[in-house]
Amino acid sequence: MTNDTNVTQFTQKRDCSLCNLSEICLPEGLTPDEMGTLDSIIKRRKPKQKGEFIFRDGDTFTSLYAVRSGSVKTFATGNDGSTMVTGFHLSGEILGLEGINCKQHVGNAKALETTSICEIPFNQLSALGQDIPKLQQQVFRVLSNEIGQEQQVMLLLGKKSSEERIASFLLRLASRYHTRGFAAKEFNLSMSRSDIANYLGLAVETVSRIFTRLTKQGIVNINRKLVMINDESALRDIANEPQPDTDKKRTNS
Amino acid sequence: MTNDTNVTQFTQKRDCSLCNLSEICLPEGLTPDEMGTLDSIIKRRKPKQKGEFIFRDGDTFTSLYAVRSGSVKTFATGNDGSTMVTGFHLSGEILGLEGINCKQHVGNAKALETTSICEIPFNQLSALGQDIPKLQQQVFRVLSNEIGQEQQVMLLLGKKSSEERIASFLLRLASRYHTRGFAAKEFNLSMSRSDIANYLGLAVETVSRIFTRLTKQGIVNINRKLVMINDESALRDIANEPQPDTDKKRTNS
DNA sequence: AATGTTGATTGATCTATATCAAATATTTAT
DNA sequence: ATAAATATTTGATATAGATCAATCAACATT
């Protein structure tokens, strides 16, 4: 269970009153008034330290969580004790959607670094959705988006080679580091190699090997936690993903 | 695009006025009145023949689809022309949730056999959700459930051996054939071996081999399309899934 | 600074599963 | 019914990536 009940006890980052929610949930525009109402139900929490849990498997589901800064991993614990990373969540992303269905969280969420989190009580959000159709639509959209994201990962796990997986992973991460505008050319891996390996269904050694290989080829530059993407186009080729220019060409060779 | 605009042109199965929706969406109970309103927005369609599309990648998203009888596969078409099965949908299940987010379907859905489908215009459903909180909650729940399901598949694809995948697949299928009550001991595989292989991230040959192996071991009996599960417990062992009695034992060896 | 601990890299094998190839079986078309 | 096309099974071989093992680098503790 989350053990901090002290809300708004710190003052930093107050500026962003919507906890980055505006970036995820509200692009289609609510009135300032509606924004205010939404804002009023969102709780700021004391930042989580590296390794701290946001929620645990089996916790009663009450809220969604929005990552303001930092990053989070979600993972399931198999019946045989094994742990399996199901996702990484960066600044501006939403957490805990799996819990809506069964009223308790299925899976754990843990901070990968010092991480600022907002809590959005789901009952209140849902009630608010009754009054503000736009908001309800946005919540639907966030859920649907998650489904789409996961299908992408299924594809990745089901049919892609280890190299393709790593390339996809890096590209996706880069694009998520700059949601708006362009993908980051340089960013930090907040998660360990073994987290990455686990998430991608690979062995740590394989991840490491491919990181060094791609670095030697000059396509990226991965040093410890720092990733720099030198040749995005080449990386996309490896990932078998279309070039952003080649956009919607479908019926080609 | 779906090309049949003739609604309610046939009379069979009229009895089930909610298109099985009651099983998925409404266990928590709406008033008969609310049920009626919901019913009024649902459109019955002419049954789809084997191979017919329910929707295609890129189609504008207008509706969710509920499978009344028969079965459907959903699949994505990669930029390289490859096709990847993302799911199977049996009677009583809902289709098209991925479309909510981007207003167009991402992926295709095709009938695996003669299949009866209901169409639920999403705008109307969403509007109805504004008035009926219970309904809105249920839609949230369906979406969240889909997320949970997909995480299960991610686990399967990421960490399980071919034998574990097949065993899991069969168990899940069996349990879905009898949503209420017990899992079916016997059922029909409406999808081809290669669909199964594709879905599970395996080669057709591997699927075939494991089917025959499991049959020789007497655990199941798979003949052509007919599956009979003789030893569910053994199958669960192979799948590394907890026995239904061993229910929620977590802190054991 | 020295020492221990944990995480990352690199190399050497081994194996599960893909791939290739061919034989049956089943469905569809003529 | 017969033939052609397609799907499934079975066997032989190849290989991507896991596993095992050792070293190396980073960080924490005394």
Q: What domains can be seen in chain B, in order of their start residue?
A: 3-157 (2.60.120.10), 160-252 (1.10.10.10)
Closest by alpha carbon to B38, among B46, B29, B47?
Answer: B29
pLDDT band at B150 (very low <50, low <70, confident <90, very high): very high
- The pairing of strands A220-223 and B43-44 is unpaired
Q: Is the pLDDT of residue B9 over 50?
A: no
| Distance D10 C1' – B252 CA (angstroms) | 42
Over residues B137-150, the mean pLDDT reads: 91
Name chain B contacts of A84, Cβ cutoff 8 Å: 155, 158-159
Residue B97: its pLDDT value, please? Answer: 94
Q: What is the pLDDT of residues B36-51, one digit of tens each?
A: 888 889 998 899 999 9
Residue B31: its pLDDT value, please? Answer: 79
Name chain A contacts of B154, Cβ cutoff 8 Å: 86, 150, 153-154, 157
Residue B82: its pLDDT value, please? Answer: 84
Q: Is A224 helix (H, G, I), strand (E, B) or coil?
A: coil
Instruction: Please answer yes or no on whether B151 and A82 come within 8 Å at the CB atom.
Output: no
Over residues B184-199, the mean pLDDT reads: 95
Closest by alpha carbon to B66, among B97, B35, B40?
Answer: B97
Which two tokens mark A223? 């040093």
Q: Is the pLDDT of residue B115 over 60?
A: yes
Q: Which of B76, B140, B158 sits opposite A201 (nearest CB)?
A: B158
Q: Which of A101, A140, A159 sits opposite B145 (nearest CB)?
A: A101
Q: Is the pLDDT of residue B13 over 50?
A: no
Instruction: Please answer yes or no on whether A159 and B201 come within 8 Å at the CB atom.
Output: yes
Q: Is the pLDDT of residue B183 over 90?
A: no
Chain D: bases < 7 Å from a protein Cβ: 7-12, 16-21, 26-27
Q: Tell which wins on pLDDT, A27 or B53.
A: B53
Name chain A contacts of B27, Cβ cutoff 8 Å: none
Name chain B contacts of A153, Cβ cutoff 8 Å: 154
The amino acid sitting at A145 is N
Strands in A83-90's sheet, in edge-to-edge order, are A53-55, A108-111, A71-77, A83-90
- The pairing of strands A226-229 and B43-44 is unpaired
| Distance C7 C1' – A176 CA (angstroms) | 26
Question: What are the residues facing B49 on neighbouring strands?
Answer: none
- How many A×B Cβ pairs under 8 Å? 133
* B118, B112 contact by CB (below 8 A): no
pLDDT, mean over chain B: 84
Within chain B, residue ranges assigned H as helices are 21-25, 32-41, 99-102, 122-131, 133-159, 162-177, 193-200, 204-216, 232-239
Digits of tens for pLDDT over chain A (253 positions)?
A: 334 433 333 323 323 334 445 544 444 567 788 888 888 898 988 999 999 999 999 999 999 999 988 999 999 988 777 899 999 999 889 999 999 988 999 999 999 999 999 999 999 999 999 998 888 888 998 999 999 999 999 999 999 999 999 999 999 999 988 755 677 889 999 999 999 999 999 999 999 999 999 999 999 999 999 999 999 999 999 999 988 864 444 444 3
Chain C: bases < 7 Å from a protein Cβ: 7-12, 16-21, 26-27
Q: Which of A147, A155, A199 sits opposite B147 (nearest CB)?
A: A147
What percent of chain B lies above the pLDDT cut of 90?
Answer: 62
Sorted by sequence, the CB contacts under 8 Å of residue B185 that are 6+ apart come out as B174, B228, B229, B232
Please give the model's pTM, rounded to 2 decimal places: 0.88
- What ipTM did this prediction achieve? 0.87
Report the sign of the C-alpha dihedral through residues A192, A193, A198, A199, in that order. Answer: positive
DSSP labels, A19-43: TTHHHHH-TT---HHHHHHHHHH-E
Q: Is the pLDDT of residue B253 over 60?
A: no
- The pairing of strands A220-223 and B53-55 is unpaired
pLDDT band at B251 (very low <50, low <70, confident <90, very high): very low
Residue A24: its pLDDT value, please? Answer: 47
Q: How far apart are CA B79 and CA B57, in angstroms?
A: 12
Residue A181: its pLDDT value, please? Answer: 61
Over residues B73-95, the mean pLDDT reads: 90
Q: Is A46 helix (H, G, I), strand (E, B) or coil?
A: coil
Q: Is A189 helix (H, G, I), strand (E, B) or coil?
A: coil
